[in-house]
């Protein structure tokens, strides 16, 4: 069963809003046995919306449209849906009353008459209640295929899909089809090198013949390896994935830090919790990004003692106690200085483990070291572990790479694999 997602809104085309709705819907479609074939974005123009919907209807078995159901003149999804269905719009008295009651109940003052546009429904369509907003959704059969139109506001869209759209799609898919993905999370190896290692392995396992697909989703310092299979049940699909997953894990070893939704900072949190250890950070080129990621995990206060952003060279000596001779001899962007920073943070916060980053983010070289030079260190009671890497990209990418690889160095230290 194939579904397409159409996002409506000129603001999406201009990049003023990120289309997070499509990602959320795509994930949920797989859970009810539907393949998501395509995401399309179109501006607030009735003719263009109708054209996109006609094309999607021809290719797919179902279409989900988000956005363009508001009360203003640029909200023309209702009109486009009616045009594609070849029917007229009619004013629904029940929705009209509901809108008036909603405005009165919320004490929002007199309702603007243009809000009544949200009570216009294409002939033959069913409205979808919206308890989280004022724009009802629409559900209509066109050529025997369902088209669902829901608001673009994520909270409202999610509620309608959970209550009406996804259950309806699940019923249409019927029993006997489950699309399941298993994602292995890796750090420290680039996408192309990872693919170079895994492609022969994937081919030798016969995974393609078993209906297993492999995809790579890269971000700075990290790559997710997604294995997907279709089965009559979720268990059957997972059984097809299992031997491929085992082979990938054996090939990559410690490069794999987690699976599915576990992030690198969550893996670190889990390991620190298991060992009942505390953490402190010292950052230079990352400027607090490491501490920022650490504290996104709920309960981080249980193990994270604090951090120091010692950006200036003199701050490394004054705040973290890095020996000036070490700074003079090796420079601030060096492994010895990173090791001293990690130890300084550990002692300053009375933590079990210290983690440090320093290097050259750009835009110019520093002390003869090229842009992208990153030095990392972890210090604990057993000593220190250091690493130097050359991160690709611009200043933003270098800092993102350094943050991810610092957390991965810590993760490996805690696991005993560094």
Segment 381-405 shows an average pLDDT of 94
SS3 state at 7: strand
pLDDT at 264: 97
**Among 128-137, 211-220, 326-335, which range has the highest average pLDDT?**
326-335
Give Cβ neighbours of residue 138 (< 8 Å, ≥ 6 apart).
Answer: 69, 78, 81, 121, 122, 125, 126, 127, 128, 147, 148, 149
Percent of the chain with pLDDT over 70: 98
Q: Tell whether the model's pLDDT for residue 69 goes beyond 80.
A: yes
Q: Tell whether the model's pLDDT for residue 412 goes beyond 70.
A: yes
Give the chain's domains with CATH numbers. Answer: 2-173 (3.40.980.10), 178-259 (3.30.70.2860), 264-415 (3.90.950.20)
Comparison of pLDDT for 376 and 208, the residue scoring more? 376
pLDDT at 113: 85
Structure tokens that stand for 45 in this block: 């123009």
pLDDT at 161: 94
State the pTM of this model.
0.72
Comparison of pLDDT for 67 and 107, the residue scoring more? 67
Q: Tell whether the model's pLDDT for residue 210 goes beyond 80.
A: no
pLDDT at 175: 61
Q: What does the pLDDT look like over 130-188, one tens digit per residue?
A: 988 889 999 999 999 999 999 999 999 999 999 999 999 988 877 666 778 899 999 99
* Residue 2 pLDDT class (50, 70, 90 cuts): very high
Instruction: Give yes or no for a contact between 84 and 78, defined as CB atoms under 8 angstroms apart.
Output: no
pLDDT at 171: 87
Residue 299: is it exposed, middle or buried by C-beta count within 10 angstroms (0-12/13-18/19+)?
Answer: exposed
Closest CA to 388 of 399, 372, 400: 372
* Residue 408 pLDDT class (50, 70, 90 cuts): very high
pLDDT at 22: 93
**Among 22-36, 111-125, 262-276, which range has the highest average pLDDT?**
262-276
pLDDT at 206: 67
Give Cβ neighbours of residue 23 (< 8 Å, ≥ 6 apart).
Answer: none
The CA distance from 85 to 68, in Å, is: 17
Segment 321-342 shows an average pLDDT of 96
Q: What does the pLDDT look like over 73-106, one tens digit per residue?
A: 999 999 999 999 999 999 999 999 988 888 888 7
Q: CA angle at residue 261 from 259 to 267, to 5 degrees?
A: 65
Give Cβ neighbours of residue 112 (< 8 Å, ≥ 6 apart).
Answer: 71
Residue 103: is it exposed, middle or buried by C-beta count within 10 angstroms (0-12/13-18/19+)?
Answer: middle
Comparison of pLDDT for 279 and 240, the residue scoring more? 279
The CA distance from 106 to 114, in Å, is: 18
pLDDT at 176: 61
Structure tokens that stand for 92 in this block: 């629904």
The average confidence (pLDDT) of the chain is: 92
pLDDT at 233: 82
User: Could you tell me which residues are beta bridge partners of residue 128?
Assistant: 137
Q: Tell whether the model's pLDDT for residue 54 goes beyond 70.
A: yes
Instruction: Give yes or no for a contact between 217 and 278, defined as CB atoms under 8 angstroms apart.
Output: no
Residue 217: phi and psi, rounded to 5, are -125, 105
Q: Tell whether the model's pLDDT for residue 338 goes beyond 70.
A: yes
* Residue 111 pLDDT class (50, 70, 90 cuts): confident
How large is the angle between the packed helices 234-252 and 191-204, nearest 10 degrees? 120
Instruction: Give yes or no for a contact between 268 and 281, defined as CB atoms under 8 angstroms apart.
Output: no
Residue 343: phi and psi, rounded to 5, are -65, -40
Q: Put the strands of the sheet holding 213-219 in their side by side order.
A: 213-219, 222-231, 178-187, 256-259
* Residue 208 pLDDT class (50, 70, 90 cuts): low
Closest CA to 276 of 342, 348, 382, 353: 353
The CA distance from 217 to 36, in Å, is: 17
* Residue 108 pLDDT class (50, 70, 90 cuts): low
Closest CA to 393 of 380, 403, 406: 403
Segment 354-359 shows an average pLDDT of 98
The CA distance from 123 to 144, in Å, is: 15
Segment 110-127 shows an average pLDDT of 91
pLDDT at 202: 75
pLDDT at 101: 86
**Residue linked to tokens 């490996």:** 412
């Amino acid at each position: 069963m194939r579904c397409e997602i159409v996002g409506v809104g000129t603001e999406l085309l201009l990049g003023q809003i990120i289309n997070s709705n499509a990602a959320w819907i795509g994930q949920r479609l797989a859970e009810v046995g539907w393949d998501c074939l395509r995401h399309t974005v179109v501006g607030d123009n009735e003719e263009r919306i109708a054209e996109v919907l006609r094309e999607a209807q021809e290719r797919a078995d179902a279409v989900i449209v988000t956005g363009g159901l508001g009360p203003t003149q640029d909200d023309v999804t209702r009109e486009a849906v009616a045009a594609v269905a070849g029917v007229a719009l009619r004013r629904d008295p029940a929705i009209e009353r509901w809108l008036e009651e909603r405005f009165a109940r919320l004490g929002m003052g007199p309702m603007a008459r243009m809000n009544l546009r949200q009570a216009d429904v294409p002939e033959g369509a069913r409205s979808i209640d919206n308890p989280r907003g004022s724009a009802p959704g629409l559900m209509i059969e066109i050529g025997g295929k369902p088209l669902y139109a829901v608001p673009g506001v994520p909270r409202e869209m999610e509620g309608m899909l959970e209550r009406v759209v996804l259950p309806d799609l699940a019923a249409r898919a019927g029993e006997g089809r489950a699309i399941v993905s298993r994602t292995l999370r890796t750090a420290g190896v680039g996408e192309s090198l990872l693919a170079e290692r895994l492609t022969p392995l994937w081919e030798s396992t016969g995974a393609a013949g078993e209906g297993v697909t492999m995809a790579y989703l890269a971000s700075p310092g990290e790559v997710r390896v997604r294995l997907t299979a279709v089965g009559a049940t979720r268990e059957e699909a997972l059984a097809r994935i299992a031997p491929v997953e085992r082979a990938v894990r054996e090939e990559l070893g410690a490069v794999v830090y987690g699976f599915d939704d576990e992030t690198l900072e969550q893996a670190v949190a889990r390991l620190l919790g298991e060992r009942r250890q505390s953490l402190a950070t010292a950052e230079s080129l990352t400027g607090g990004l490491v501490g920022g990621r650490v504290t996104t995990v709920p309960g981080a206060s249980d193990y994270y003692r604090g951090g120091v952003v010692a950006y200036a060279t003199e701050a490394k000596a004054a705040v973290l106690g890095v020996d000036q001779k070490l700074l003079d001899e090796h420079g601030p962007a060096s492994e010895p200085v990173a090791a001293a920073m990690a130890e300084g943070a550990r002692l300053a916060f009375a933590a079990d483990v210290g983690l440090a980053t320093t290097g050259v983010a750009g835009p110019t070289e520093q002390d003869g070291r090229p842009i992208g030079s990153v030095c990392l260190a972890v210090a604990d009671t057993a000593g220190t572990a250091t690493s130097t890497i050359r991160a690709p990209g611009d200043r933003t990418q270098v800092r993102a790479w350094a943050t991810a690889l610092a957390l991965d160095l810590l993760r490996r230290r805690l696991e005993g694999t560094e």
